[in-house]
Amino acid sequence: MAVYTQLSNEAIGEWLQAHYALGTLDFAIGIAQGVENTNYLLALCDAQGAEQKYILTLYEKRTRAEDLPFFLGLMQHLAARGVVCPQPIARTDGQVLSDIGGKRAALISFLHGKSRTVMRNQHTAQVGMALGKLHLAAQDFSGTRANALSLAGWQALHETVAPRLDEIQPGLQALIRDELQFLKEHWPQDHSLPRGVIHADLFPDNVFFTGDEVSGVIDFYFACTDFFAYDLAITLNAWCFEGRECNITKMQHMVKQYQQQRLLNDAEKKALPMLLRGAALRFLLTRAHDWLFHEKSALVTPKDPLEYVAKLRFHQANNDASIYGV
Amino acid sequence: MAVYTQLSNEAIGEWLQAHYALGTLDFAIGIAQGVENTNYLLALCDAQGAEQKYILTLYEKRTRAEDLPFFLGLMQHLAARGVVCPQPIARTDGQVLSDIGGKRAALISFLHGKSRTVMRNQHTAQVGMALGKLHLAAQDFSGTRANALSLAGWQALHETVAPRLDEIQPGLQALIRDELQFLKEHWPQDHSLPRGVIHADLFPDNVFFTGDEVSGVIDFYFACTDFFAYDLAITLNAWCFEGRECNITKMQHMVKQYQQQRLLNDAEKKALPMLLRGAALRFLLTRAHDWLFHEKSALVTPKDPLEYVAKLRFHQANNDASIYGV
């Protein structure tokens, strides 16, 4: 939970008056959810006296300023193609980015709905469908952004964390070293699989439901250019384990509904077990890093890396894509 | 900033369905502001399809469960007498307190408006008026609660912090020891001054404004029975210093408008400089305690105790109540 940058109501109100014609600030609430950036819920009173809600996002150090046009442009592109997601609100001068509190910032539309923590098959099916639609809608987006957390990024992260991995769990150093070597030898080569813009972080926190239906997708600040099927692998890992146990039925539901939108080709199907291993290693490495190097005074409790050890071990033992119903 | 107790949307939704007939949960947002308790903003969709907002407060360890009926009863009492403040929402079984996430909790009405950080004379005048009205409205409240942070409480706190006070600033140990001795000898005796229920924490965070007018008062979780004029002293200290400089004009505005509601008697006027010293020491002691003993991993950054050293020194040098315009 995190509000890294504290803003007074006066500072928010003056910024709104200077750059927008949306009404007057009724209240501003710092949002505890979220780990990367600072978010405020703003309620404005418009000219008709009606309350309108927005999100003010301040981009903190882990989001690079030069990537912001890609992220915000993607959100606009997706929304124009029917993907329900937050959209940046242009200022009266046409700009979407501002400076406030010493940070780059944007006013974003507010998305109703709420995330789930209890998932049934139908919810993972819904998420598969939403991901397929997102990939189709992103296909003609002109922006590109290299995935800093693919094979080269994993190797760099590994050099940082390797000496201390056994502090988390004895044997973890060897497990990750060997897995990284395996993936270096077997990871799909560029262009061997269909690529495009992927969400790359479609965890349950980032999907809103109304009742049992997906009502929206948020948090595009890891979006990048990579294999579509790798995004599916990240999402399968994020939604279809119960504790440390894989629920194959949930995976099948997600894959099936994804394919109702976008059919996987033979190369993607064949690669899926490998992509699931890579997706598990990617989150294992970043969680291990945050676990070992987070400041003790930080606002955010690091997530458990061992959850992803279990996921990696599951995928190491299964190289048959057919169990996922592809 | 703090959400100490994480609740899933499902847990909140099920609790609402079990105990209220207010509608269905649209969204729940953990609120970063606040240091003592966990607060969620809840938006519900009522039977007419309209959005209604509430605050769900979970009482954390610093709020004692046995005090909750006093706090919640006071809020109901004040609201019935025209003080705009949050009110507990009774469940369908008539209870206002619940158990959720292992904590005692209450659903509270949502108060529009926003706090100020930039104060002009008119704002301190408004706050004086609001405090006077609050004291009058609380006069016939039947509940009582001893002030755990009066003279005896200061002595207990002092024993804990004294050995380490000079870590904060050399000389602080002697300053506080001498001041505590002075106050033990001079603090007004019970019943020498009018007493009743006081807010005891009317800091800028806890007062909402619409434009330049006070629109509501929140956070009654320090309310207790003590001298009315001591509450005025706490509030003067909280609002009328600019950095470490006292703005006497602001104090005069606050006192004048307070007296438009409730006239201070001669004993209260005479005691005011002493009460200001006690009010400064009380917050100096608790801030010093939190500064020295907060967990490094805590979600809340402790407030600067030295701000209250400056306030205490100002009041030590001024024992003439007339400068406050009483």
Out of A109, A137, A155, a domain closes at: A109
**Residue A186 pLDDT greater than 50, yes or no:** yes
Which 3 state secondary structure label does DSSP give A63? coil
Sequence-distant (6+) residues with CB within 8 A of B293 are B160, B161
Flag whether A15 is in a domain: yes
pLDDT (tens digit per residue) in A65-76: 999 999 999 999
Question: How big is chain A, counted in residues?
Answer: 326
Out of A52, A83, A109, a domain closes at: A109
Which of A10, A113, A299 minimises the CB distance to B27?
Answer: A113
Taking CA–CA distances from B29, the nearest residue in chain A reads A31
pLDDT (tens digit per residue) in A98-146: 999 999 999 999 999 899 999 999 999 999 999 999 999 999 999 999 9
pLDDT (tens digit per residue) in A65-110: 999 999 999 999 999 999 999 999 999 999 999 999 999 999 999 9
pLDDT (tens digit per residue) in A296-321: 655 667 889 999 999 999 999 999 99
Task: Report percent pLDDT > 70 for chain B.
Answer: 98
Same domain membership, residue A253 and residue A143: yes
Contact A32 B28 (CB under 8 A): no
Flag whether A211 is in a domain: yes
Flag whether B201 is in a domain: yes
The model's pTM is 0.91
Which 3 state secondary structure label does DSSP give B230? helix
Same domain membership, residue B168 and residue B75: no
Same domain membership, residue B181 and residue B266: yes
Per-residue pLDDT, B296: 61
Flag whether B50 is in a domain: yes
pLDDT (tens digit per residue) in B203-232: 999 999 998 999 999 999 999 999 999 999
Per-residue pLDDT, B300: 65
Same domain membership, residue A101 and residue A166: no
Flag whether A100 is in a domain: yes
> In this complex, is the C-beta atom of A50 within 8 Å of any C-beta atom belonging to chain B?
no
Same domain membership, residue B237 and residue B203: yes
Per the structure, the count of domains in chain A is 2
- Please answer whether residues B261 and B135 qualify as being in contact, where contact means their C-beta atoms are separated by less than 8 angstroms: yes
The phi and psi torsions of A45 (rounded to 5 degrees) equal -100, 115
Per-residue pLDDT, A1: 47
CATH (domain of A68): 3.30.200.20
Per-residue pLDDT, A63: 87
What average pLDDT does this structure show over B2-19?
Answer: 93
Q: Which residues of B touch A297 (CB under 8 A)?
A: 296-298
> In this complex, is the C-beta atom of B118 within 8 Å of any C-beta atom belonging to chain A?
yes
- Please answer whether residues B225 and B198 qualify as being in contact, where contact means their C-beta atoms are separated by less than 8 angstroms: yes
Task: Report percent pLDDT > 70 for chain A.
Answer: 98
CATH (domain of B160): 3.90.1200.10
pLDDT (tens digit per residue) in B109-154: 999 989 999 999 999 999 999 999 999 999 999 999 999 999 999 9
Per-residue pLDDT, B1: 47
Same domain membership, residue B183 and residue B84: no
Quote the ipTM score.
0.88
Band (pLDDT 50/70/90 cuts) for residue B285 is: very high
Same domain membership, residue A127 and residue A95: no
Size of interface A-B (CB pairs under 8 A): 78
Same domain membership, residue A186 and residue A245: yes
Read off the tokens for B137.
């409205």
Out of B109, B135, B152, a domain closes at: B109
Which of B9, B32, B114 minimises the CB distance to A30?
Answer: B32
**Separation in Å, CA of A254 to nearest CA in chain B:** 22
Band (pLDDT 50/70/90 cuts) for residue A33 is: confident
Same domain membership, residue A76 and residue A157: no
> In this complex, is the C-beta atom of A110 within 8 Å of any C-beta atom belonging to chain B?
no
Same domain membership, residue A94 and residue A48: yes
> Residues A64, A68, A69, A75: is their CA dihedral positive or negative?
positive
Contact A8 B41 (CB under 8 A): no
What average pLDDT does this structure show over A170-188?
Answer: 96
**Residue A36 pLDDT greater than 90, yes or no:** no
Per-residue pLDDT, B228: 97
Which residue range is the domain that position B154 belongs to?
121-324
- Which of B218, B225, B231, B294 lies closest to B261 in space, CA to CA? B231
Round to whole Å and give the CA distance between B229 and B238: 14
Flag whether B114 is in a domain: no
pLDDT (tens digit per residue) in B28-53: 999 988 778 999 999 999 999 999 99
> In this complex, is the C-beta atom of B10 within 8 Å of any C-beta atom belonging to chain A?
yes
Round to whole Å and give the CA distance between B28 and B189: 48
Contact A114 B27 (CB under 8 A): yes
> In this complex, is the C-beta atom of B117 within 8 Å of any C-beta atom belonging to chain A?
yes
Same domain membership, residue B74 and residue B126: no
Q: Which helix (H) or strand (E) holds A73?
A: helix A68-80
Interface of A with B in 216-245 (CB under 8 A): none
Same domain membership, residue B296 and residue B191: yes
